[in-house]
Amino acid sequence: MIIPTEPIGSIPRPAALLEGLALFKTGQLSKRKLDSLYERALRDTIQRFEATGSPVISDGEQAKPSALTYPIDGLANLAEGGFSLTYRDGHQRQLPRLRAGPFRYRFYADRYLQKAHRYATRPVKQAVVAPSALSLLYPQAGIPAYPGETYLADLIGEAEKDIRRCLVKGAHVVQIDFAEARLALTLDPSRQLLRSFIALNTRLLERFTPAEQARIGIHSCAGHDRQARLAGEVDLAALLPDLLQMPAGCFYLQLAGVPNRGEVLRLIAAHARPLQRIFIGVIDPLDPRIETAATVRDRLLEAAEHLAPERLGTTDDCGFAPFADDGSTARDVAFAKIAARVEGTALAAGQLDG
């Protein structure tokens, strides 16, 4: 029996790249030299990813400014003072706000995929931002001559283009990052905000055929940055039933860092649609300890008590460094955790096969 295992996406950047980014921001490093550092980081990341034995890899998001803002980096119609993401330790990441329409992406994720394919010998997955996250760019006061519904229509169109370009360029799967699902429950326990996010993302997914949806996944976690989570503890019984009704072929769900895994697995089994594959999180990026292969094996075997093994996969709870300047997790630790995930998944598959 083969049980698939995939990363979520981001890997901590090498120290040389982090130093280069800091120098570039202060005008002490040229764009050409920064691009050279990006290229070296990408090549090293893919080599180290493949050395873990991972059957599917990512580019580690080495060149993304963040998993959230890559499409809008440098757009002229943005201004400061947008929605603030407040993490549990109190630090913030502030989004820009849209000041005029029309809205168009400046960059699409296939640019990262194309570069990764230059070095990769294994399938490459590509993460993209969810339209629900970018809906936060639109100011509550509105924009004259550019209504919110027009913005959302433009946003869905751009998100569709982002995914289609990646599918055409040969992405193994396109993963829609939806960390704001749990944040929505933290901000609004009534679930109205969550359901509006899910409805928006479903509008996007419904533009794809069932065959295309099978190559699209949804990633849901609490989100993190600098070793702090974005969303607080939420009742997953309020999240999973709605989340799992989205028409996507795969779901990547945070489970390693969840205290009541058995209860969550029962919820997943009760609400997952028949053809969906569930990738359970077996690695906690915020835990400084490196999980053993035996720990990963046991977490997967526990999941197999609730879901048929042929419907399961393993993953990490979240990416390891979603923002480019986050060096709070050591690069070596991230790759060691990934290697443990790969080995532990194979151990569990062998046991289930036996």
- Quick one: tokens of 286? 């915020």
CA distance 279 to 275: 13
Residue pLDDT, tens place only, 85-119: 888 888 999 999 999 999 999 999 999 999 999 99
How confident is the model at residue 313, as a pLDDT? Answer: 98
CATH of the domain at 261: 3.20.20.210
For residue 191, being part of any structural domain is answered with yes
Query: Given the DSSP bridges, would you call strands 216-220 and 174-177 parallel, antiparallel or unpaired?
Result: parallel
For residue 87, being part of any structural domain is answered with yes
For residue 34, being part of any structural domain is answered with yes
The model carries a pTM of 0.95
How confident is the model at residue 232, as a pLDDT? Answer: 72
Kind and range of the H or E element at 267? helix 261-271
How confident is the model at residue 227, as a pLDDT? Answer: 86
Number of domains in the chain: 1
For residue 7, being part of any structural domain is answered with no
CA distance 124 to 117: 7
For residue 6, being part of any structural domain is answered with no
For residue 5, being part of any structural domain is answered with no
Per-residue pLDDT of the chain (354 residues; tens, 9 = 90+): 899 999 999 999 999 999 999 999 999 999 999 999 999 999 999 999 999 999 999 999 999 999 999 999 999 999 999 999 888 888 999 999 999 999 999 999 999 999 999 999 999 999 999 999 999 999 999 999 999 999 999 999 999 999 999 999 999 999 999 999 999 999 999 999 999 999 999 999 999 999 999 999 999 998 988 988 887 778 899 999 999 999 999 999 999 988 889 999 999 999 999 989 999 999 999 999 999 999 999 999 999 999 999 999 999 999 999 999 999 999 999 999 999 999 999 999 999 987
How confident is the model at residue 222, as a pLDDT? Answer: 86
How confident is the model at residue 243, as a pLDDT? Answer: 97
CA distance 15 to 178: 28
For residue 1, being part of any structural domain is answered with no
Strands (E), the chain: 78-79, 84-86, 92-94, 97-98, 126-129, 174-177, 216-220, 224-225, 228-229, 250-253, 277-283, 312-316
How confident is the model at residue 229, as a pLDDT? Answer: 87
| Nearest C-alpha neighbor of 174 from the set 215, 233, 124, 133 | 215
Q: Which residues share a beta bridge with 328?
A: none
How confident is the model at residue 116, as a pLDDT? Answer: 98
φ, ψ at 97 (rounded to 5°) = -125, 145
Residue pLDDT, tens place only, 294-352: 999 999 999 999 999 999 999 999 999 999 999 999 999 999 999 999 999 999 999 99
How confident is the model at residue 88, as a pLDDT? Answer: 86
How confident is the model at residue 285, as a pLDDT? Answer: 95
How confident is the model at residue 201, as a pLDDT? Answer: 98
How confident is the model at residue 341, as a pLDDT? Answer: 98
Query: Residue 32 is part of which domain span?
Result: 15-353
